[in-house]
Structure 1
Amino acid sequence: MSNLKYAAAPLALGVALISTPSFAQDVAPAAEAADAIVVTGSRIARPDLTGTNPVAVVSAEEFKLAGAINVEQVINTLPQVLPGTTSFSNNPGNGAVTLNLRGIGSTRTLVLVNGRRWMFYDTNQIVDLNTIPQFLISGVDVVTGGTSAVYGSDAVSGVVNFRLRELEGIEAGTTYSLTDKGDGARYSANIAIGSSLGDGRGNVTMFANYTRRKPIFQGARTFSATAAGDGCIVPGSTNSVTEIGTPYPSGITVSTCGTRGGQVGFVPQGSATGPIGTFGSGTSTYIFNPTGGGSRVFNDPGDLYNFAPANYLQLPQERYLLGAYGSYEVTDGIEFYSELSFVNNRVAAELAPTPTGVSAPLLIASPYFDAGTRALLTANDAAEALSAGTRGDGYAQTSVSYRFLSAGSRNSEQTRQAFRLLGGFRGDITDNLKFDMFYSYARTSNTQIQQGNVSSSRYVNALTVEFVPGSTTDLRCRDASARAAGCVPINVFGSGLASAEAVKYVRVQSTNLEQSELTNAVASVSGSLFNLGMGADDVAFAFGGEYRKMASRYIPDEFLASGDVLGFNAGKPTSGSYDVKEIFGELNVPVLEDQFIHRLGLNAAARYSDYSLSAVGGSWTYSGGIDIAPIEDVTFRAQYSRAVRAPNVQDLFAGNSTGFPAATDPCSDRGTAASRTDALRAFCLAAGVPAATVFTRAVQPNAQIQADFGGSPTVEEETSDTFTAGIVFRPSFVPRLNITADYFNISVDNTIGVLAGGVSSALSLCYNTIQDLNNPICSVFVGMRNPANGALGQTSGGKNPQFRSANVGNLETSGVDVQVDYSLPVMDGNLGFFYLGTWLDTYRNTPISSIPERENIVEGTHGQPKYRHNVRVTYSQGPALFSVRWRYEDGTQDSRIQNVFNGTQRIGTDPALLPKPYVGSTNYIDLSAGFDVNENFSLNAGVNNLFNAQPRILGSAAEQANTLPSFYDVLGRDYFISARFKF
């Protein structure tokens, strides 16, 4: 849910911004005759800090006031940022923390450290923010809009640059955080040593950090302790607690909230030619008693399995960071600089025990069953197809569902080791020409160990049993080769009945490996050219070339690679690389200053990129801007940028993997009754759905539909256009007041994604809008349906639809950012006020460019809020500082209110038919205080979410834990204390 901005540029020598002030930073008059510096978003050094790109700056003080031990704790609270994966991303999640600027994707946000590309961690070429040393940050620059002309691919939504500070002496610090429930402890300890070299000719900074975060399970919080779905509430609670629906209705199905206690559920199957009576319809699920034997139809809410308590709410983490950076003037005017970083980061995820669903021939005479169950299975056996000699063979082919409590929870431990080294030279060519060249190499290796998986083939072998020759009670696995491999019959027909030997046989541990590499070399020349003679600075330029090579590979375990796994998603090996050669140039033209107007300036940039990818080839990116100040107090600015994102290794070379996305098959009974038209029925029949099952639960027995996903080497680059326009107001009659307002409009065309935007989108488009089996969007489902009941996906007896990477549609977002910064002396101290807010005008994600646009579609169902802000008020006097922050998230609504179509006509959805049509606003209040005990020792303490505001509960629209844990505060009231020593 959201985004943000502030407009500012870093000020020389620690002075506040000229165009806009920094986050939580006092404002001082601009330094006169400041040295030329490089502002994020350009390679041209300039003595003035006015720029046409809106730039926001987060100061180092903000991390201290928030008690942050990781970068995400500050960055993800900015109104410009919609959190990606975070420390609360358990499922889905991969142990990384990603940055999603403007809510248009982490792959479209370029992350820099000290103005240079940082290392990425996976085949999607995304930066893990866990690898950045938070305690050494001097500031963070957030530039809105495409900057590919300056930095190359991926800078679509903008660029975020983390600036690290140089040290002189020894600095050590520690931070400890704990929730008011006494759990989720986080602590971090770091030390850094900095020193000047060679009589001031250089400086080196070395650092080390250890961070530890303890887990919190979903069962530790009321809002997440019970898995809630639409139409059900937390048992024993009131509707006001969960804000979801009404008590369990009669006829609730197993797909609503799972199955309780680990009992088996089974659905007898029909014949290959059509449904047979009660069994073939697939609407009756039978469930075994906990102790085994007797069975009955599943229709009791008490049968629901509550999987929530076994899932992490906050993931555990252990991290080691080591590194050094520095520079040295090797000769007059020539400086060598270098950076070295190493990180070892271990993050675990934990899910409830594996839910399994397979089809297996069950021995009707098995001692695992009582007479009533045998009668059900015998009737099903008699109704089976006459072919293959299956009729009357004593076996009933049956779908079996079981929650493997006896195998323990599913655990996934991500151990990520990464290093990056960089070396370069910079210096003077002449008095007004400078050069800069560097080479960097980074590699990230990730080892993922998964436990709690179940082998599908072994499980079927263990279910398919026969009597030991000469016995009518003892069983063995029916397949001789499986017996030779250690197969043991498994009794899953009741809780806790499976033997330890049988569980050991079916349970598998998988180890998956991933490695990513980035090679980057850049050389540039910059300086001044001439002066236009109208009082302004010289015309300045930058020109250079760049080379990048990106390589990644993913090596899954043999069980995941073969698809023979239940518990975690299967995946195929992925491997690939490509490179790009580029030339770029920038021009900054100060036209006039202090003439008939105060200032007028222009800028332009362009880059040509030659990719080794045949589908991309060569591409141009460019930008141009203007800033004009009629008087000194007011500046108007505008910028246009064309940017690109080249496909990454995952887009291009991803091996085929199996996923289980949530989707609604329009041919089932899961859609709205109003959508079940005669035209849709006819199309469902033509698509292979039997007449007897159209618009029934048999077509889609589960809320998820199994499908296969993979990359495509024919994917082309994305292109984006960004326009920003704003005003900077610094009234001379109100000293220290800075106000900025900027409009942004970002549109991305040819967006890379899965075909038709995914399974859910494709089903809706094909069956509700297109209704043409020859259309590419519909053809993906042709031949994929189970002929007996029309269901899609292997788990339901059909085949998996194939979804590959493709250029699928477009994105657009627009809005206004406002920032106000003011400080004034009060009672021998200083009172500072900072406001940063974003109003979102438009957010559209159109998965296919030829269909009606869908507004406000993001993760889950609910759209981004229209308005967000951060407000901080700080008072400092002498060695003491007190601060309060107000974070506000506006309410939003279920996007289905707008995004339901009948053909091309928007018909929407009546809010009364939705379980959670509207989500209210949320307010967070944070307090902090600091005290400098002496010049060597300082203390900080505070509480975040002072009033313990609870996250919004979203039911089936939730990402996990019944909410959006990466967006809302799920910890509750949270305390921190930190100390810093300087020597």
Structure 2
Amino acid sequence: MLNTSRRHLLLCASILGVGSLSGTAFAASTTQPEQNAHKAVHHKASTSTTAAKSTPSAVAAPAATSSVAVPAATSSVAVPAATSSVAVPVATTAPASSSRRRAALLEAQGVSGGTERMVVTGSALASSNNQNANPVQIVTAKQIQQTGATTLSDFFARIPSIGGTGTNNSETNGTGGASCTDIRNLGSNRVLVLIDGKRATLNGQSNCIDLNALPVQQIASVEILKDGGSELYGADAVSGVINIKMRHNLSDGNITIRGGITGQGDNDTGMISAYKGWNFDHDKGNLTLFGQYMTQGGVLQRDRSWANPVQLSDNPVGSGAETFGSGYSNYTHVQSASGLNAAVAPDGKTVSDWGTNNRYDYGRHQSLINQLQDASLSGDFHYEFNRHANLYSNVMYSHRTSSSYMAAEPFDGSVQPSTLPSVLTVPANDPNNPFGQDVDITKRLTELGDRRDENATDTVTAKVGVNGEIAYGWDYDLSYTYGSNMSTDHLENVGSYTNLLNAYGLQQTDPSSATSALVYNPSVCPSFGCSNPFGTMGSQAASYVNYNTNTHSHYQLRDWNLRINNNHVTTMPWKGGGDLGIAVGFEHRGEQLTNTPDELISSGQSLTNTVLPTSGGFDVTEGYAEAKATLLKNVFLAKDLTVDVQGRASGYSTTSDTAKNWKASINWAPTQDIRFRGTIGTSYRQPNVYELYGGQSLSYNLANDPCDAGQVGTYGAASAAVAATCAKQGINTSTFHQSGTGQVPTLGGGNAHLAPEIGRTYTFGTIITPRWIPNLSISGEFWHYSVNHTISALPTQYILDGCYTGTSPSLCNTINRLSNGQINTVTATNQNTGALHESGVDFDFDYRIRVARHDVLSVSNNFQYLLNYTQQLVPGGAFTNYTGALLYAGGPNNANASYGIPRVRDYATFGWTHGAFTATYMVQFIGGMRWNDQSEFLNSTTAGRYKTPMMIEQDLTLAYRWKKWNFESGINNITNKKPPFVASGVDNSAGATYGSFYQGRYFFLQAGLNF
């Protein structure tokens, strides 16, 4: 009778959220309710706990995003638990049936869930909360939702450990509308993003899990392993693993509606989501359906005063001059071999010297934040036949459309493999030529209209598997995942080069040669007549020249997984010894990427960037193992002493080498108040399918030609070397002028001859959870990454400077010039460049206390301090220190975007809960940074503005729960803080780092109904 009453008391405590439960057990019952549905052996309990389930809009005390451990509560006061690096139970698609039975047995015996052994990202073996040696940060659904984030990318921008080298919604050119992420600024190609612990489908155009395509309302939690995970998860987990756990196995329903708008009346967002789950056959099976539709209105750059006009540079080379806009203008830029450097007005007649007044403010015509629409559907099913076989499956589908605007097409000739003219030379006998000599022209074809890029993506990830118990203690999980991402990029107002030549009445003397002369031949003109190449085309000619392109990409994933594990193989054969657990696994994966550009683009006949068709893939067969041994427990000076070793061997079809990775970790808790942990591991990363076979494309990167008459003198002591190198190439630096000043045609993309990266990672830390201060947790962690033979594309300006200053003469081989001296292309495809070293420390604090019967106060803080970030950009070259740097014109991990590597980042959350009401105040801090041009820091003597200030963003959310309704409202960026100025040449800031400031003050409302 006493035991029965005790079980009833525990059940009531789990429903009401009171009682002597540990912090982590409380977190599981309040923020991850679907875990209760797994306890199918207690049908009555499973039914009765439905009322306690949280929903995507459920109101709970604000949870912290700290990566520290939460101490078990020592009193009967119900205090909302932290979201921490401990093993918080989260519902998965396929919970092991034997694990469910053991958990239910523990509960029936009155054992607190806080000591339950469970699997957390970073290990294949279950462990108690105090045995986790890996630095794992766990984020709950509530934390994401209380920020008003429309996409997971918007939320990740707040977390200090999430770097800024990925892509986001503020990048409008070349991202395919996808948002990528990374850890520690090591690049999106070195982080592995999982969904429910398994690989998912990449975006074929961006080589990442597209965070825009993941419905935020379906996310149950996110586990961030801030340490290398290649040994357990695969070669691409160099910087860590982000495991996104979705909601599954539900038995109730919910409808949630959200809307938001900026203080300036744009970027209006809307979202509606719904789910419903059903148990059947006495709770042996479950079917859960989920759907969400989200829309985001976007922001145009001209609607933000700080983004206009576009400033290309702010004296980065010390000349004192400020340059705005682009040299590709609606004025025709005219040059000749005799040194002519003139501008012809759009009327086609007025001639003047080319100067700064002829530049074009393209920013007024482009998007600052993309428009987005995403419709997502998912279905989840599982059925437990018996303890040996639990069948599960999950299908996720997303249709995402993103739209952005760019300025009208710039034009200055063709590049290989096109045989159309590499330079558009208007012959002297053209009746519209006022100069009496052959002249080369470049211009921006504004008469075609602004370009509109619409990317439509369909992503499917289907998973089926079976798990269960082989024999007592031995569990297995066998699964197969198929993924497909099909993307179509529709680009409007591009134009046909062939039709442009016809419209001008120009004809090649040798159509098979891009360097052949052009002659004036009016017979090739269309029926409505010839157009003036120096002026603006009429509407008929513009329609004749205009052209819309469609580029297709298709990524496919096939992944077989088998894991066998036993958490208690044996007990250490000495006094005080603990368990030995073993896990072994097998994985066979195939990835395939096909990129098919529009035929006009691939043949070089369009006026846009040339993209070559590519196709390729690889297969990899891998085996891995893990052993975790508790050497001592509950003895003097060893409350717990656990070691863990992991290893993985991988054989790729693209190489005969076998990649081997290993990792060792230790967790020592001399008392239950403090513990120390450390890890050391290796990485051997084979290039991914996108780095190998991604389509090569031509883009106009921000860079200045060192041979330009206005640039040579800016190199200081190296000016003589620059002039000498230019002279060897037949360029007179006193008279030569770069066409399209500020932008250089650059060929980037995949390289099938890449070698693997090799690296090492280690972390050391401590966690303090004093018993005499319940619900207080403090942690500190030192971390270090080292990667050699890094795979990246060098920035265009770095290539040019390295060649012409003589510091890297081999880079000259990547620069191709035309007969008139203009740069035709700079080749900056993926290469094995050099090495990268990074180290830093994390400090995390979490505390919550009940100050009155109905009042709970909480505070949490995540702090990151960067000690060192250095990179060697070419093999054998010097290391460049990027610590605290803002790479204003692209950097080694993203050559086309400005991003920062701040020394200090911090995210703090302060919460107050009063009954059904919750208020949460959030503060994000980004330290100030000095500008770096990939070789040195700028300063007050060499530049005008040369650094950005520290930035603080403040948010406030209010939430209220009433019966089955949940309401939430909030303000992001309360003070309407504007992003700092950065001479990026794109939008006057750096979206990868400061993107959360771009929209300005933002308001949102949300309402949810449980049923």
- TM class by shorter-chain length? 0.7 to 0.9
Specify which of 699, 703, 707 is matched with residue 746 of structure 2: 707
CA distances 1:64-115 after superposition (whole Å, capped 9, x unpaired): 2111231112112111112422122113432111112111111111001111
CA contact (8 A) 1:488 1:505 kept: no
Deviation at 1:482, TM superposition (A): 4.2
Distance of 1:916 and 1:178 partners within structure 2: 33
Query: Which runs of 5 or more residues in structure 1 are unaligned?
Result: 1-7, 233-243, 271-275, 382-395, 467-475, 794-799, 901-907
Q: RMSD in angstroms over aligned alpha carbons?
A: 2.9
Matches within 5 A, 1:404-415: 404-415=445-456
Matches within 5 A, 1:137-148: 137-148=219-230
1:98 counterpart = 2:212:
no
1:515 counterpart = 2:554:
yes
What corresponds to 1:215 in structure 2? Answer: 298
Distance of 1:666 and 1:258 partners within structure 2: 17
Matches within 5 A, 1:1-80: 19-21=68-70, 26-27=81-82, 31=112, 34-80=115-161
Specify which of 612, 615, 627 is matched with residue 575 of structure 1: 615
CA distances 1:930-957 after superposition (whole Å, capped 9, x unpaired): 00011x11100010000010001112x3
1:156 to 1:329, Cα distance in 2 relative to 1, 3 A: same
Q: Which moved more, 1:732-741 or 1:160-169?
A: 160-169
What corresponds to 1:472 in structure 2? Answer: none
SS in 1 for 2:743: coil
SS in 2 for 1:777: helix
1:449 counterpart = 2:486:
no
Distance of 1:450 and 1:430 partners within structure 2: 58
1:759 to 1:402, Cα distance in 2 relative to 1, 3 A: closer
What corresponds to 1:163 in structure 2? Answer: 245
CA contact (8 A) 1:574 1:650 kept: no
Deviation at 1:763, TM superposition (A): 2.5
Matches within 5 A, 1:819-834: 819-828=844-853, 829-834=855-860
1:305 to 1:805, Cα distance in 2 relative to 1, 3 A: closer
TM-score, length basis structure 1: 0.85
What corresponds to 1:229 in structure 2? Answer: 312
Deviation at 1:205, TM superposition (A): 1.5
Specify which of 190, 198, 207 is matched with residue 125 of structure 1: 207
1:879 counterpart = 2:943:
no
CA contact (8 A) 1:10 1:57 kept: no
SS in 2 for 1:512: strand
Identity fraction in percent: 22
CA contact (8 A) 2:779 2:844 kept: yes
Specify which of 387, 391, 400 is matched with residue 332 of structure 1: 387
Distance of 2:600 and 2:532 partners within structure 1: 23
What corresponds to 2:426 in structure 1? Answer: 362
1:658 counterpart = 2:698:
yes
1:850 to 1:328, Cα distance in 2 relative to 1, 3 A: same
Specify which of 817, 824, 831 is matched with residue 806 of structure 1: 831
1:761 counterpart = 2:798:
yes
What corresponds to 2:994 in structure 1? Answer: 967
CA contact (8 A) 2:229 2:241 kept: yes
Specify which of 543, 548, 556 is matched with residue 504 of structure 1: 543
2:1009 alignment partner AA: F
SS in 2 for 1:741: strand
CA distances 1:223-253 after superposition (whole Å, capped 9, x unpaired): 1132223359xxxxxxxxxxx999996xx8x
Q: Which moved more, 1:594-603 or 1:531-540?
A: 531-540
Query: Which runs of 5 or more residues in structure 2 are unaligned?
Result: 1-23, 32-62, 72-78, 89-111, 414-422, 508-517
SS in 2 for 1:544: strand
Deviation at 1:126, TM superposition (A): 1.4
CA contact (8 A) 2:167 2:992 kept: no
Deviation at 1:52, TM superposition (A): 1.3
Deviation at 1:927, TM superposition (A): 0.5
Distance of 1:661 and 1:965 partners within structure 2: 17
Distance of 2:373 and 2:290 partners within structure 1: 17
Distance of 2:362 and 2:355 partners within structure 1: 19
Deviation at 1:725, TM superposition (A): 0.5
CA contact (8 A) 2:213 2:374 kept: no
SS in 2 for 1:174: strand
1:150 counterpart = 2:246:
no
Deviation at 1:848, TM superposition (A): 1.2
CA distances 1:360-410 after superposition (whole Å, capped 9, x unpaired): 3436576656xxxx2xx11xx2xxxxxxxxxxxxxx2x2223332221110
Distance of 1:979 and 1:534 partners within structure 2: 57
Distance of 1:970 and 1:33 partners within structure 2: 42
1:683 counterpart = 2:720:
no
Q: Which moved more, 1:121-130 or 1:523-532?
A: 121-130
Deviation at 1:648, TM superposition (A): 2.0
What corresponds to 2:634 in structure 1? Answer: 594
CA distances 1:604-641 after superposition (whole Å, capped 9, x unpaired): 00010010012x63110110000111221111100011
1:214 alignment partner AA: G
1:840 to 1:207, Cα distance in 2 relative to 1, 3 A: same
1:321 counterpart = 2:376:
yes
SS in 2 for 1:107: helix
CA contact (8 A) 2:581 2:628 kept: yes
Q: Which moved more, 1:960-969 or 1:580-589?
A: 960-969
What corresponds to 1:899 in structure 2? Answer: 935
Distance of 2:944 and 2:475 partners within structure 1: 62
Q: Which moved more, 1:819-828 or 1:542-551?
A: 819-828
Deviation at 1:708, TM superposition (A): 2.8
What corresponds to 1:554 in structure 2? Answer: 595
What corresponds to 2:949 in structure 1? Answer: 920
SS in 2 for 1:524: strand
1:779 to 1:300, Cα distance in 2 relative to 1, 3 A: closer
CA contact (8 A) 1:855 1:895 kept: no
CA contact (8 A) 1:487 1:505 kept: no
What corresponds to 2:811 in structure 1? Answer: 777
Distance of 1:10 and 1:55 partners within structure 2: 19
Count of equivalent residues: 883
CA contact (8 A) 2:228 2:240 kept: yes
Deviation at 1:456, TM superposition (A): 2.4
Matches within 5 A, 1:327-476: 327-358=382-413, 359-362=423-426, 368=432, 374=434, 377-378=435-436, 381=437, 396=438, 398-464=439-505
Deviation at 1:787, TM superposition (A): 4.6
Deviation at 1:465, TM superposition (A): 5.3
1:832 alignment partner AA: S
CA contact (8 A) 1:263 1:287 kept: no
1:629 to 1:561, Cα distance in 2 relative to 1, 3 A: same
SS in 2 for 1:66: coil
Distance of 1:878 and 1:9 partners within structure 2: 20
Distance of 2:317 and 2:962 partners within structure 1: 54
CA distances 1:805-843 after superposition (whole Å, capped 9, x unpaired): 321111222111111110001232110101011111111
SS in 2 for 1:647: coil
Deviation at 1:11, TM superposition (A): 6.8
CA contact (8 A) 1:534 1:593 kept: no
